[in-house]
Structure formats: structure tokens, C-alpha cells
Amino acid sequence: MYPDLNLFIGGKWRKSQSDMAVLNPATEEEIGRLPCATQQDLDDALEAAVKGFALWRNTSPRARADTILRAARLMRDRQEEIATSITLEHGKPLPQARLEVIRGAEFFEWDAGEAMRTYGRVIPAAPGHKFTVHHQPVGVVAAFSPWNFPMSQPARKIAGALASGCSVILKAAEETPAGAIHIAKAFEDAGLPAGVLNLVFGNPADISGYLIPKDPVRLVAFTGSTTVGRHLSTLAAQHDTRVLMELGGHAPVIICEDTDVQTAAASSAVRKMRNAGQVCTSPTRFFAHESIFDDYAAGFVERAKATIVGNGMEEGVEMGPTANERRVPVLTDLVEDACAKGATLATGGARHGEKGYFFQPTVLLNVPDTARIMQEEPFGPIAVINPVSSLDHAISQANSVPYGLAGYAFTNRADYIDQLIDRVEVGNLSINTLEASMPETPFGGVKSSGYGREGGTEGLDNYMDIKNVWHSATIT
């Protein structure tokens, strides 16, 4: 059920001179060998993308949308096969992988519709003159997607680029290549012209370092950590290349005293453990009003302890392993640091089992501001729950990190909601739900969480240049 792994360049699948192992994080067994692109492969991908762009930018938006929709239909038809590959390489429970496939298809479907709505505008002008504004695809996109959502992360980038009329060279995550490979297969079968979508793998720093300075590359689209995003932005700036950056988050959740405490607590624990906490919008810093703190924390800990942890292929499993070996020591260190500084470990805090990269669902209470986890995104199944004395206190805690991606609150008070909308520094605020985005809503961060938006009516803006045309009827 795991696909053969190849590069996809100029409409053809190819192996390379060297390859690397892809492991199942639940069993640590090798499930595939992934080819690593050589410089010749990257040059071929650049040449193919230039040709693909020349063709695709002159393809009508409706024809582009038709191809994208055909590919999305194939992804839906292949849901079980794609979901199984995702669970094998990433570890998430199969039902969550199935939902990811549908979400990936929805990103394509939304952007396909937007392809036909990249409207320009007419600006009033003097008689004999016309000012018109046109949106035109930016060119070849170098895109880099991470391993936490093997299908929906590449889908976001490919959908935006292809709907806008750009061609793409995507370097998907080496740990989880199958999601992107299934997308490329669906586009091949849907009749996408050769060179419009190219897929490479290898050493991430070598590939970004080689591609970003190249002349045809007009946009760098990256999702991943703030550190790497900053590095790629710096490189792009040296070549005056635009960037779209979806970076880290460290989402706060404000639990007000008027909420239904037990329902909010159970919902929070379930959402925290989804994808083993490896989501840039994952709720992590929970600030509960002191009058309800004990009840909320008790409800959260009870539900977190009940999480069924195991191999994502097994029925009933709620949380799989973390996606790679690197996560476990990072998470262990964050817990040890918090406890050394005075936090209370209410549950979890260590590796789970002996095989696979599992980490226990973990809850830390009363964590001091000096603990590293109050500033560093854990990107794993760890929650911090702290008491706050007022909404002002909660908002100042929420805003106390450099990140600003997602933020959440539980309350029904209109005056609180007004304050939250005005003052919480995030790109996506959700009230009474811990869902952060849909294909039709713009997604992205403020502060160190990045710039640009994916999805919504704003999504294609990143992939388009704006051209103003001044047309005078006579020579002036």
C-alpha cells in the first residue's frame, strides 16, 4: 500500500544516483527508498518549469480549473490508498489521514474556483485615457512543504500556484514523500501538461540553496519553522525574489469564567493531541480564569490520560507517534526544563513504549514564564495550563510570544469577544472552537509566524503580479 518513490520532472518519473530510507515512525521499519535529486535533476526541473510556465500561463483559467478539479476528483477516488500511505509514513491514525485527503482535495477545489475570479479593476480616468489593473501569474514557484500533513501541506502550495497560472518545483518533506507523490500522480492522470508541476527530494538546504538564487524562480513558498523560513527569506531577498512564509505558531487558548468548563476542557484535550500536537495551529498555552482553573485543568487531564495512543493503522487509536526521531528528545527536554523551573507535571512527560517515536500525552500546570516552553513551540502533544486573573491578564499572556498564527477563546460574552478580536495578535482567531481554518478562509500569521495568506479570496494574490496599464487613445 506504499507507493514506489520517484522524482517527477518534466512529466516523467525518475530515480536518481543516491537515495535515502523512509521509515514508519510507529515501527521504525523502512517502508521505501526515496531518490535524492542531483544538480542535473534540479537543472532539468528548472528547464521543465520554464517551459511549463510558458504553456500554463497561456491556458485559460477555465481550462486550468478543469484540470485541477479532475485531479482533485482522482484524489477523492483514491482516498483510501493515499490515506494508508500517509499513516504508514507519518503515523497519524487512519481516520485522520482520510480527513486530510479530503481537506487536500478541498484546497484544490477552492483554488480552482478562484482561478476564474482573479479580477482586475478599472480606475476612473480623464476622457481618452483608461487605467486598468491586471493580475498576472508570477512565474516559476519554488515551494517547500513540511512533514506534518504529507498531503494537505503540498496541496496548499500546488493549488495556489497552479490556479494562478504558475508552474512549480515542489520539494516536499523527505520523511513523508508519498502525499506529494500521490498528488503528482493525480495531476499526471488528469492531463496536466509536462513541466507545470515538478517534484524533487534530497537535502533540503542543498535544494533550497541551489534553486532560490536561480533566475526563473520568482516566488519562494515555504511552510515550516521560523528559523528556516527566516533563512530562506534572507536568501530570496538577495535575489529580489518574493516569498510566502507560513511559519511556526504557539497558540494561546483563553478560557473565560462564563464558559461550559467541562465541555471546553474535553474538547481542548482532544484537539491538543490531534496529529500528536504537530500542527502549527495546535493549541498549547491554555490560560484559564482562576475561578474555574481547577475544574478546567482536572477535566483536561482526565481526557488527556484517556487518549488511546498507538499505531495509526489500528482501529480506535486516537494519537500516533511523533513523525520523526528528532521530536522525542526535544519534547523531553522541554518538560524537564519546565519541571526544573517549578511547573507541575500532571500527566505524561516521557517517551511512550519502546518502539516507535511515541510521546505520552502531556499536561503541565502552573508553568512559570521563565520556562522555555512558554516561548518555544513544542510541536508535540504537550499542553501548558496556567491560571489568569482577568481577561487583560490572559490577553497579555497570549501576546507574550514572538508568534502570531492561531489563537482561541472559550466565552459567550460579547464584551470579551470584542476585546479578543481587537487585541489578540494572531492571523486566525477562533471562538468556542479549536478549528482554525477552512479552504475558503485566509490562513497565515502575523509577527514571526510569517507573511502572506493561503486560501480564501486572498490566497492567489501571493502567486500573482499586479500590472497597471495606462492606455491613452492618442499620443500625448
Q: Could you list the active site residues? A: 246, 280
Nearer of residues 87 and 419 to ligand NAD, judged by Cβ: 87
Please, are residues 420 and 254 in contact by the beta-carbon 8 Å criterion? yes
Nearer of residues 173 and 180 to ligand NAD, judged by Cβ: 173
Nearer of residues 143 and 288 to ligand NAD, judged by Cβ: 143
In sequence order, what are the residues at sequence separation of 6 or more whose Cβ sits closer than 8 angstroms to the Cβ of residue 370? 341
User: Tell me, what DSSP letter sits at residue 276?
Assistant: G
**Least distance from ligand NAD to the Cβ atom of residue 285, Å:** 15
Which residues of the chain form contacts with ligand NAD (CB under 6 A)? 144, 146-148, 173, 204-205, 208, 223-225, 227-228, 231-232, 246-248, 280, 326, 377, 379
C-alpha cell at 104: 487536500
Nearer of residues 379 and 410 to ligand NAD, judged by Cβ: 379
- Helices and strands (H and E) in the chain: how many: 13, 22
Task: Report how far residue 263's alpha carbon sits from residue 233's, in angstroms, rounded to the nearest whole number.
Answer: 42
Task: Report how far residue 307's alpha carbon sits from residue 363's, in angstroms, rounded to the nearest whole number.
Answer: 12
**Least distance from ligand NAD to the Cβ atom of residue 143, Å:** 10
Please, are residues 445 and 426 in contact by the beta-carbon 8 Å criterion? yes
**Least distance from ligand NAD to the Cβ atom of residue 164, Å:** 22
**Least distance from ligand NAD to the Cβ atom of residue 116, Å:** 29
Kindly report the number of other CB atoms within 10 A of residue 103's CB atom: 17
Nearer of residues 42 and 395 to ligand NAD, judged by Cβ: 42
Kindly report the number of other CB atoms within 10 A of residue 467's CB atom: 11
Task: Report how far residue 303's alpha carbon sits from residue 108's, in angstroms, rounded to the nearest whole number.
Answer: 35
Q: What are the backbone angles phi and psi of residue 155, rounded to the nearest 5°?
A: -60, -45
Please, are residues 327 and 379 in contact by the beta-carbon 8 Å criterion? yes
**Least distance from ligand NAD to the Cβ atom of residue 160, Å:** 15
Task: Report how far residue 145's alpha carbon sits from residue 20's, in angstroms, rounded to the nearest whole number.
Answer: 18
Strands lying side by side in the sheet with 464-472: 121-123, 129-137, 464-472
Nearer of residues 146 and 439 to ligand NAD, judged by Cβ: 146
Nearer of residues 379 and 463 to ligand NAD, judged by Cβ: 379
Please, are residues 305 and 347 in contact by the beta-carbon 8 Å criterion? yes
Q: Which residues of 155-164 are buried (b: 16+ CB within 10 A; e: fewer)?
A: bbbbbbbbbb
Q: Could you give the residue ranges of the DSSP H alpha helices within 222-353?
A: 226-237, 261-273, 293-305, 327-340
C-alpha cell at 410: 472559550
**Angle of CA points 453, 427, 254, to nearest 5°:** 155
Nearer of residues 229 and 349 to ligand NAD, judged by Cβ: 229
Task: Report how far residue 153's alpha carbon sits from residue 162's, in angstroms, rounded to the nearest whole number.
Answer: 15
**Least distance from ligand NAD to the Cβ atom of residue 207, Å:** 7
Nearer of residues 56 and 147 to ligand NAD, judged by Cβ: 147
**Least distance from ligand NAD to the Cβ atom of residue 332, Å:** 14
**Least distance from ligand NAD to the Cβ atom of residue 227, Å:** 6
Closest CA to 199 of 368, 384, 392, 49: 49
In sequence order, what are the residues at sequence separation of 6 or more whose Cβ sits closer than 8 angstroms to the Cβ of residue 62? 115, 116
**Least distance from ligand NAD to the Cβ atom of residue 316, Å:** 27
Outline where DSSP puts E strands in 56-163.
Answer: 121-123, 129-137, 140-144
Strands 121-123 vs 129-137: parallel, antiparallel or unpaired: antiparallel
